[in-house]
Structure 1
Amino acid sequence: MTNKTLRRWAQGLAVLCAATLGLTACGSSDDSGSGSTTSGAKSVTSALDKGGSITVWAWEPTLKKVVTDFEAKYPKVHVNLVNAGTGNDQYTALQNAVQAGKGGPDVAQIEYFALGQFALGKSVADLSGYGAKDLKAAYSPGPWNSVNINGGIYGLPMDSGPMAMFYNKKVFDKYKIAVPTTWDEYLAAARKLHKADPKAYITSDAGDAGLTTSMIWQAGGKPYKVDGTKVSVNFGSDPGTAAYTKVWQQLITEHLVSAVPPWSDQWYKGLGDGTIATLSTGAWMPANFTSGVAAASGDWRAAPLPQWQAGQHASAENGGSSLAVMQASKKKELAYAFLQYANKGAGVQTRIKGGAFPATTADLNSQTFLDTKFPYFGGQQANKIFSASAKNVVPGWTYLPYQVYANSIFNDTVGKAYVSSTPLTAGLKTWQDASVSYGKKQGFSMGD
């Protein structure tokens, strides 16, 4: 989806809910998720006993097997699984359904950074009354914080993206580069690599909002503050942002990062031939290495993220999705039953076997899970690194309630630092100002 189309979607959703920023419903005001947890749990059980049909919009491939198993366990229930598009394409379809008041699903896959935008407008239901509020200990902190919005639980975590640094061991060994444990060491490694082979780069970064916010998150930054409809954006005096820009500006200025955009054919080629030597991203990445960079099997390894301060063990999330129940659904109890099965029950193991990375603490701590060997990574037990990362995610991060829109203008603001002499700090200031201006126009109370 183009940035222009993405902006139209984000603006449409914000306009749709602008008149209800007091957190009343954007649509029906009845929320079946409220009330007694006990009665809510009983209603879920009753819904399964009665049966019926629900529609789930999701693009995640492991859910196909989950649906098959769920229907086998509950033969009175039929799940219509629909791929309405990936990410923003689906969000556009959801927005259209909300505006029309019909045609939407009962359950939708929504990425963590986008969930707040739907929750604010009450397009998704608060699941607290079904017992979701009591599930905090079942999930790792990052994903749980992402579904816990303004005191309500607006989805159950489906997966998570605790970050790690994937590196090409073959390239590192060839040039005798030590695996960096700090970002300063990473900068030094970037210089050494590019000097040894001018065609090789430590990583690729053409300007990515998700990577930028994750790096700031790991550094302890909190540029976004959200309290209901009170919002502030401040990159200028944020210590985590300063730590990030100090290192990343040098990588950009010294031309130590490749400008190849992620997920492109060139990007996969660079990962395969060693001209892109590291990738800092979520723990969901291994399956993409296996399918997209098959020829480099055995060359790559996983390592903890480099640290902003030596001796720390801080991490952040990058990516991941929830399953949410749509407010307009007439079958919320049955929909929640599917969420429980897919995201906390037997469906979790099904998805792990299919290559998904869990958000559930029981699975993250399972010895079987931790001991899993990855043939692609030379037999490395990489889940030990990923699981530790999930436990070390820096608490307190929040996204804007219109983060989808903010991300859509990243390349028009911060992105200029990658293709011109504009400093990262100036690009972030422009992004901040544009985000604040947009928030004001949508009726948010914007603070300092």
Structure 2
Amino acid sequence: MRTMTRRTMRGLGLLCAAALSLTACGSSDDAGSDTTVTGGDLRAALREGGSITVWAWEPTLKQVVSDFEKEYPKVKVKLVNAGTGNDQYTALQNAVQAGSGVPDVAQIEYYALGQFALGKSLEDLGRYGAAALKNDYSPGPWSSVSVGDAVYALPMDSGPMALFYNKKVLDKHSIATPTTWDEYLEAARALHAADPKAYITNDTGDAGFTTSMIWQAGGTPFKTRETEVTVDLTGDKGVAAFTNIWQKLIDEKLLAPISPWSDEWYKGLADGTIATLPIGAWMPANFASGVESAAGDWRAAALPQWKKGAEVSSENGGSSLALMKAGKKKDLAYAFNQYANHAEGVQARIEAGAFPATTADLSSPSFLDTPFPYFGGQKANEIFARSATQVPENWSYLPFQVYANSVFNDSVGKAYVSDTKLADGLKQWQEAAVTYGNDQGFTVNK
């Protein structure tokens, strides 16, 4: 979970306040935004060459840039790390507002994409024929980058969820790997009863995890139609399913009160006091680098289901690459985006540890058959790839989700440290979102 600085919070306020009125400034050397761009146009742009700037923090792009420049020696790609997540979004919005210094391409996480799209800061990639790529990507990431006929980015990666579990710990206490969330609750009780120092998982309140769980449960608490927004965190069926199970885990003190990514968290994963982790498929590299001493103890399984026998998953995390409307070399920018996320660059990023969003790679025998030494040689990609096909497509984030996530622990977070019930915390989060959205010029209903 990221720490929100005051500087970041001021930037988030500016970002959302600008969303309804801001039209990106700047000029472009390419054809107008309504002009259809063909493959021939892109090849011509690559032959002519030029320079583009890409803002991204994702480390695997370094190799992609190197390979791209080798293949197209007349093109120079300036890769800039302008900060991670919210820090970059603040810098990006400031540049858009100033009308200068805007990159040609920007990495934007799926949950934040709507804010920039609504603010008309992004190029609709439809004129490049991007809509035809729909079936080339798994449903979760594609639904996050497209709205109707508009496509605002190409997916970089995905985070289909799985349940990582410490097989050694569960076997020790004769606890079966849970296949439903009801079984997960029973496993939590059995584990903590057998060893009061052990917990089924950790959770201190996390907006991304909560929304992912609601998504899997069939929830659609956020809906947006242009500037009309609906927020329903009180009557939504997915919210009810999540709170029913998670409130019991909280009430019975079955969740480790440990923040993710902390030293204590890594220690808990290593010594077995945190026994499972429902999270995105990008997690294995973090196990291998941060929990080395538990190699061989852990395995991956399908995410537990809300209904026995169902096969539904969710997404947790992931980013896209978007073209900024103020960019000056849009054709070159799209050519790079396509290379990184739909062509040769995808394999380079997979080899460097990224989890793909492309269906061809998710179904590739070489990908599926890859053994994970950390997980005892398990072919975990088979589980992750299947999860990617099971994500409901009707999910959407708020057009001011960045702000909403930043105040999550002011409301929902109280349920983990006080007598506040999870449902009451979600209701407070709803009120905060409604008030903020209306203040920013949206028409927000609940």
User: Which bin holds the TM-score, normalised by the shorter protein?
Assistant: over 0.9
RMSD value, Cα? 1.5
- Return the alpha-carbon distance in structure 2 between the equivalents of residues 40 and 85 of structure 1: 34
The answer on whether the counterparts of 2:27 and 2:327 sit within 8 Å (CA) in structure 1 is: no
The answer on whether the counterparts of 1:159 and 1:356 sit within 8 Å (CA) in structure 2 is: yes
The amino acid that maps onto 1:16 is A
Secondary structure at 1:135's aligned position in 2?
helix
Deviation, 1:36, is 4.9
- Return the alpha-carbon distance in structure 1 between the equivalents of residues 33 and 329 of structure 2: 15
Deviation, 1:8, is 1.9
- 1:197 alignment partner in structure 2: 195
Deviation, 1:26, is 3.9
What does 1:11-160 correspond to in 2, within 5 Å?
11-19=13-21, 25-27=23-25, 34-37=33-36, 39-160=37-158
The answer on whether the counterparts of 2:24 and 2:326 sit within 8 Å (CA) in structure 1 is: no
| Change beyond 3 A, Cα 1:32–1:221 | farther
Deviation, 1:3, is 5.9
Secondary structure at 2:120's aligned position in 1?
coil
The amino acid that maps onto 1:10 is L
- Return the alpha-carbon distance in structure 2 between the equivalents of residues 222 and 139 of structure 1: 22
Secondary structure at 1:180's aligned position in 2?
coil
Deviation, 1:11, is 1.1
- 2:240 alignment partner in structure 1: 242
Asked if 1:355 is matched to 2:353, the reply is yes
The answer on whether the counterparts of 2:158 and 2:318 sit within 8 Å (CA) in structure 1 is: yes
| Change beyond 3 A, Cα 1:152–1:33 | farther
- Return the alpha-carbon distance in structure 2 between the equivalents of residues 208 and 163 of structure 1: 15
- 1:320 alignment partner in structure 2: 318
Asked if 1:424 is matched to 2:425, the reply is no
- Return the alpha-carbon distance in structure 2 between the equivalents of residues 33 and 214 of structure 1: 38
Q: TM-score, normalised by structure 2?
A: 0.97
Q: Deviations over 1:406-425 (max 9, x none)?
A: 00000001000000000000
Q: 318, 334, 338: which is aligned to 1:340? A: 338
Q: Deviations over 1:177-197 (max 9, x none)?
A: 100000000000000111111
Deviation, 1:44, is 1.8
- Return the alpha-carbon distance in structure 1 between the equivalents of residues 179 and 226 of structure 2: 38
The answer on whether the counterparts of 1:33 and 1:128 sit within 8 Å (CA) in structure 2 is: no
Which consecutive unaligned segments of at least 5 residues does structure 2 have?
Answer: none
| Change beyond 3 A, Cα 1:274–1:391 | same
- Return the alpha-carbon distance in structure 1 between the equivalents of residues 428 and 69 of structure 2: 50
Q: 212, 215, 224: which is aligned to 2:213? A: 215
The amino acid that maps onto 2:418 is S
- Return the alpha-carbon distance in structure 1 between the equivalents of residues 7 and 275 of structure 2: 33
The answer on whether the counterparts of 1:183 and 1:307 sit within 8 Å (CA) in structure 2 is: yes
Secondary structure at 2:19's aligned position in 1?
helix
- 1:177 alignment partner in structure 2: 175
Q: 373, 376, 388: which is aligned to 1:375? A: 373
| Change beyond 3 A, Cα 1:32–1:195 | farther
What does 1:225-374 correspond to in 2, within 5 Å?
225-374=223-372
Deviation, 1:102, is 1.1
The amino acid that maps onto 1:207 is G
- Return the alpha-carbon distance in structure 1 between the equivalents of residues 27 and 100 of structure 2: 16
Deviation, 1:342, is 0.3
Q: Deviations over 1:231-290 (max 9, x none)?
A: 000011111110000000000010000111001111111111111111111111101111
Give the percent of matched residue pairs that are identical in Structure 1 and Structure 2: 65
The answer on whether the counterparts of 1:163 and 1:389 sit within 8 Å (CA) in structure 2 is: yes
- Return the alpha-carbon distance in structure 2 between the equivalents of residues 33 and 210 of structure 1: 37
- Return the alpha-carbon distance in structure 2 between the equivalents of residues 369 and 33 of structure 1: 40
Q: 430, 437, 440: which is aligned to 2:438? A: 440
- Once the two structures are overlaid, the 10-residue window that deviates more, 4-13 or 95-104, is 4-13
- Once the two structures are overlaid, the 10-residue window that deviates more, 426-435 or 81-90, is 81-90
- Return the alpha-carbon distance in structure 2 between the equivalents of residues 133 and 97 of structure 1: 28
- 2:10 alignment partner in structure 1: 8
Q: TM-score, normalised by structure 1?
A: 0.96
- Return the alpha-carbon distance in structure 2 between the equivalents of residues 257 and 46 of structure 1: 57
The amino acid that maps onto 1:18 is L
